[in-house]
């Protein structure tokens, strides 16, 4: 096992016994939501994973150790410290570990650490992607490269239109990452169920998701699989309202010269402020919804691999 990795005992035991485990990320806690909703959500998401029949493993870097599974106190610490904790993508991992520092893991580093720990399925809210204007800024999230090379299934609610959804899909196609729609043919757009873009395949049950992922592994294909799960209708936001908030946030980020790793957290926070917290409420609901689907899929995956 990796000498820098600590797997929480409950998680290690489940993995040994072939029981389902779902990885969760910590950038959503420290950089994706304000305190205290971030902590409440992270704990509720862990509970949703348990309700779905799996063991949650929230992933983070603490004092230079890669953690697969956090205690409630550690989750509280990540929530309280918020953006003071470094946002850790692939390029940050070695230096943070060498220095014995903390890091909030993005989709990228959560996939990496989940894979090291032997966890196959990971639930989150939204992934990073190709940013609008990337043809000049070259701002493309490392999440897309990680999906291309690390065999972990990521369950998300699609991508939000702070990104260029069309270019994000093109990039994933080039990299050979399957984009599956859960009970939909259309890529969900995070706060809304529809984007106007098609997914590669519609998949209708956790069993079908588990089967597709199992075969991908049996074929020896490297890389992950992206499952896009639409936000439940009752929590989705009016399209015009969210589009206007996103346009305003994008204009402000351009005017203020926000760039690099700050872009996504800046846009998320501004969208939440502009919508008066409505987008945060939707965000919380969709993460819970993804956690349940990931847990059910992890359970199916364990059944067919027994």
52 binds, among ligand PSU, Mn ion, none (CB under 5 to 8 A by kind): none
Query: How distant, in Å, are the alpha carbons of 63, 116, 239, 274, 296 from that of 23?
Result: 20, 12, 30, 31, 13
SS3 53: coil
Query: What kind and span of H or E run contains 22?
Result: strand 21-24
Closest CA to 36 of 78, 74, 67: 78
> Is 271 or 295 the residue whose CB approaches ligand PSU more closely?
271
Q: How far is the CB of 219 from ligand PSU (least distance, A)?
A: 26
Q: Binding segment for Mn ion among 83-91, 139-147, 167-175, 275-283 (CB under 5 A)? A: 139-147
Task: Please say if 74 is a catalytic residue.
Answer: no
Question: Which residues of the chain form contacts with ligand PSU (CB under 6 A)?
Answer: 25, 27-28, 32, 106-108, 125-128, 141-143, 160, 261, 264, 268
CA-nearest of 176, 300, 279 to 237 is: 279
Residue with tokens 């959500």: 41
As measured in angstroms, the least distance from the Cβ of 31 to Mn ion is 12
List the Cα angle 163/185/126 in 5-degree steps: 30
Q: Kindly determine how many residues on this chain lie close enough to bind Mn ion according to the rule CB under 5 A.
A: 1
Taking CB under 5 A as the rule, does residue 146 contact Mn ion? no
Q: Which residue is nearest to ligand PSU (CB)?
A: 32
CB atoms within 10 A of CB 262: 15
Q: How far is the CB of 200 from Mn ion (least distance, A)?
A: 24
By CB under 5 A, tell whether 139 contacts Mn ion. yes
* DSSP states along 186-232: B--BTTBS--SPBPSEEE-SHHHHHHHHHHHHHTT--S-EEEE-PPP
- Beta carbon nearer to Mn ion, 106 or 236: 106
| Closest to ligand PSU by CB, 55 or 130 | 130
To the query of whether residue 160 is one of the catalytic residues in this protein, the response is: yes
Closest distance to ligand PSU from the beta carbon of 141 (Å): 3
Which residues form the interface with Mn ion (CB under 5 A)? 139
**Residues identified as active-site:** 25, 160
């Amino acid at each position: 096992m990796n000498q820098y990795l600590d797997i929480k005992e409950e998680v290690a035991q489940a993995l040994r016994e072939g029981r389902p485990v779902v990885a969760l990320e910590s950038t959503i806690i420290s950089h994706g939501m304000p305190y205290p909703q971030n902590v409440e959500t992270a704990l509720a998401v862990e509970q949703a994973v348990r309700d779905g029949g799996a063991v949650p493993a929230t992933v983070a870097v603490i004092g230079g150790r890669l953690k697969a599974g956090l205690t409630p106190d550690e989750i509280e610490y990540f929530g309280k410290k918020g953006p003071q904790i470094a946002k850790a993508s692939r390029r940050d991992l070695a230096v943070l570990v060498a220095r014995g520092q903390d890091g909030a893991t993005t989709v990228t580093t959560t996939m990496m650490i989940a894979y090291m720990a032997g966890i196959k399925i990971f639930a989150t809210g939204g992934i990073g992607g190709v940013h609008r204007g990337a043809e000049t800024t070259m701002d493309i999230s490392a999440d897309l490269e990680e999906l291309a090379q690390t065999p972990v299934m990521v369950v998300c609610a699609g991508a939000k239109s702070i990104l260029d959804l069309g270019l994000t899909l093109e990039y994933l196609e080039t990299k050979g990452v399957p984009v599956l729609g859960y009970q939909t043919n259309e890529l969900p757009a995070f706060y809304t169920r529809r984007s106007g873009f098609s997914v590669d395949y519609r998949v209708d049950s956790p069993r079908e998701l588990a089967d597709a992922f199992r075969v991908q592994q049996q074929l020896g294909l490297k890389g992950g699989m992206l499952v896009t799960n639409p936000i439940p209708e009752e929590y989705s936001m009016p399209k015009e309202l969210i589009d206007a908030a996103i346009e305003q946030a994008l204009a402000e980020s351009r005017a203020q010269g926000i760039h690099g790793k700050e872009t996504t957290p800046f846009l998320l926070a501004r969208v939440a402020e502009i919508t008066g917290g409505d987008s945060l409420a939707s965000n919380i609901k969709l993460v819970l919804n993804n956690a349940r689907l990931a847990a059910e899929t992890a359970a199916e995956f364990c059944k067919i691999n027994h």
